[in-house]
Amino acid sequence: MSNQVALTGNEVMAQAMRQINPDVVAAYPITPQTAMVQLFSQFVADGKVDTEYVTVESEHSAMSATVGASAAGSRAMTATAANGLALMWEVLYIASGTRLPIVMPVVNRALSGPINIHCDHSDAMGARDSGWIQFFAENGQEAYDNAIQAVRISEHEDVRLPSIVNLDGFIISHAVENLEILADEDVEEFVGDYQADNYLLNSEDPIAVGPLDLQDFYFEHKMQQAVAASNVKDVVLEVAKEYEEISGREYGLFEEYKLDDAEVAVVALGSTTGTAKAAVDNLREQGVKAGLLKIRLYRPFPAEEIANALKDLDAVAILDRADTFSTTGGPVYIDTRAALYDSDADLEVVNYVYGLGGRDIKVEEIESVFEDLQQIAETGNVEQKINYLGVRE
């Protein structure tokens, strides 16, 4: 049984956390994540969850306390955004390297400076090599669904890696949209009880967590982490199938929107993919074979599958809501180009960095990208590989 509601992204993520009912949450408020942890702390105060809520004085402490709680054997969560995630940086690696299945919503916001509170993906992209699994969502519904599935994926015995569940700041976190939330008992049953194999508070079998690990074993442990990351894709698909049974909603590694017979397409992640769908629909009405590939699982990157989905296109544009300042394009562009290098695809790949600091991206702007792609497909001529969309010169 599910429930039709109209909630903001932050509200529905607080509901997901309530339904997951973690043993421990340690969180520090930061715009635009604040409402999520504020609502959740109200659930704690009202006795709606069994969670031990740890108030901390910074995000570094939030992640440290979450790592401690998870290492102790509990199901632990936190949530953050932007500079909060940046402040967690060193502890992120400890969480993934210690193989702790923490789940953390991140409400995407531009990193300072200049100081800005609005949406882009510079925060999440800063953590892209931290060993965390990362999911992106088009809307609040997907963020909610990803959060619940992430618990199972992170805790899976073949994975045991932490997950970041991204949702776009303000655009999703503060917008009310129609949603369907699952019944509490369905989520309870789906996530199940968490039983860690090896944990600090097991007096029967005492272990040390996080000891010095030098030349003799560090590398082997990192190798195990790499193997775990390579297992993620299969587990994501397996959990998605089970989730579909209780929710009726289908998930994969990415969504292909009118991509089957497409000649030109964009690749994107986050809330912009919804706007891109409207652009694709408009172009289809004009007879343009346009499509969209919406990435759901960004880390680990499903390179082979994405290359395979794109290979028959004439031209593709990768939309990045973050820059790398490497002069070689945005992060999703770099990943996608690398993926295509090993495939037998013969297509032009161009990059559009857009929406930094919350700059609005309109349907017409995405349509203009498709116009560029048609031009490229026709002439085989790429004037500029890396473009900045919607910026004043």
Partner 1 sequence: MASLTEIRWHGRGGQGGKTASILLGKVAAKTGRNIQAFPEYGPERMGAPVLAYNRISEDKITVHCQVTEPGTVAVLDPTLLDVVDVTQGVPAEGKIIVNTTEDPTALKEKLGFDGEVWTVDAYGISTEEIGAPFPNTPMLGALVKATGIVPYEGFLEQVKKEFEKKFAHKPEVIEGNLASIERAYQEVKK
- Cite the beta strand spans of 96-203 per DSSP E: 103-108, 133-135, 163-168, 176-182
Contact 153, 23 (CB under 8 A): no
**DSSP string spanning 6-20?**
EEEHHHHHHHHHHHH
Least gap, CB of 171 to partner 1 (angstroms): 5
Q: Which of these segments, 174-182, 196-204, 308-316, 331-339, binds partner 1 (CB under 8 A)?
A: 174-182
Binding flag, residue 170, partner 1 (CB under 8 A): yes
> Is the bond preceding residue 114 a cis peptide, omega within 30 degrees?
yes
Q: What amino acid is encoded at 162 in this protein?
A: P
Kindly tell me the number of DSSP H helices and DSSP E strands found in the chain. Answer: 13, 15
Q: Which is nearer to partner 1, 17 or 171 (CB)?
A: 171
- Shortest Å, Cβ 243 to partner 1: 20
Q: Is 42 helix (H, G, I), strand (E, B) or coil?
A: helix
Specify the 3-state DSSP secondary structure of 225.
Answer: helix
Retrieve residue 109's tokens.
């916001």
Residues 125-154 touching partner 1, rule: CB under 8 A, are 138-139
Amino acid residing at 219:
F
- In whole angstroms, how close is the CB of 357 to partner 1 at the nearest point? 12
Q: Rounded to an integer, what distance in angstroms lies between the CA atom of residue 134 and that of residue 125?
A: 10
Query: What's the min distance (Å) between Cβ of 13 and partner 1?
Result: 16
- Considering beta carbons, is residue 338 or 391 the nearer one to partner 1? 391
Rounded least distance, CB 207 to partner 1, Å? 46
Residue 344: φ, ψ to 5°: -90, 20
CB of 192 vs partner 1, minimal distance in Å? 31
**Binds partner 1 (CB under 8 A): choice among 109, 118, 152, 321:** 118
Do β-strands 176-182 and 2-8 pair in parallel, antiparallel, or remain unpaired?
antiparallel
Q: Which residue's CB is nearer to partner 1, number 173 or number 374?
A: 173
Q: Which of 247, 275, 336, 374 binds partner 1 (CB under 8 A)?
A: 275
- CA–CA separation, 222 vs 214, rounded Å? 12
35 and 10 in contact (C-beta within 8 Å)? Answer: yes
Which of 18, 128, 156, 277 binds partner 1 (CB under 8 A)? It is 277
Q: Kindly tell me which residue out of 360, 371, 378, 383 binds partner 1, with binding defined by CB under 8 A.
A: 360
Query: Whole-number minimum distance, CB 116 to partner 1, in Å?
Result: 11
Among residues 178, 198, 230, 379, the one that binds partner 1 under rule CB under 8 A: 178
Task: Identify the helix (H) or strand (E) that includes residue 146.
Answer: helix 140-155
46 CB neighbour count, 10 Å cutoff = 9
The residue (of 96 and 275) whose beta carbon lies closer to partner 1 is 275
| Cβ at position 360, least distance to partner 1 in Å | 5
Whole-Å CA distances, 92 to 62, 79, 85, 131, 308: 11, 12, 9, 8, 32
The reply to whether 362 sits near partner 1 by the rule CB under 8 A is yes
Our CB check for partner 1 shows the closer of 67 and 82 to be 82
Q: Is 274 in the site for partner 1 (CB under 8 A)?
A: yes
What's the closest the beta carbon of residue 33 comes to partner 1, in angstroms?
A: 14
Nearest to partner 1 of 70, 166 (CB atom)? 166
User: Please, what is the minimum distance in Å from the beta carbon of residue 23 to partner 1?
Assistant: 29
* Dist. CA 124–CA 60, nearest whole Å: 16
Taking contact as CB under 8 A, which single stretch among the options 56-64, 157-165, 243-251, 359-367 is the one that binds partner 1? 359-367
Which of 138/155 has CB closer to partner 1? 138
| DSSP secondary structure, 56-84, as one string | -SSHHHHHHHHHHHHHTT--EE--B-HHH
User: In the complex, which residues of this chain contact partner 1 (CB under 8 A)?
Assistant: 4-6, 117-118, 138-139, 168, 170-172, 174-178, 271-272, 274-275, 277-278, 360-363
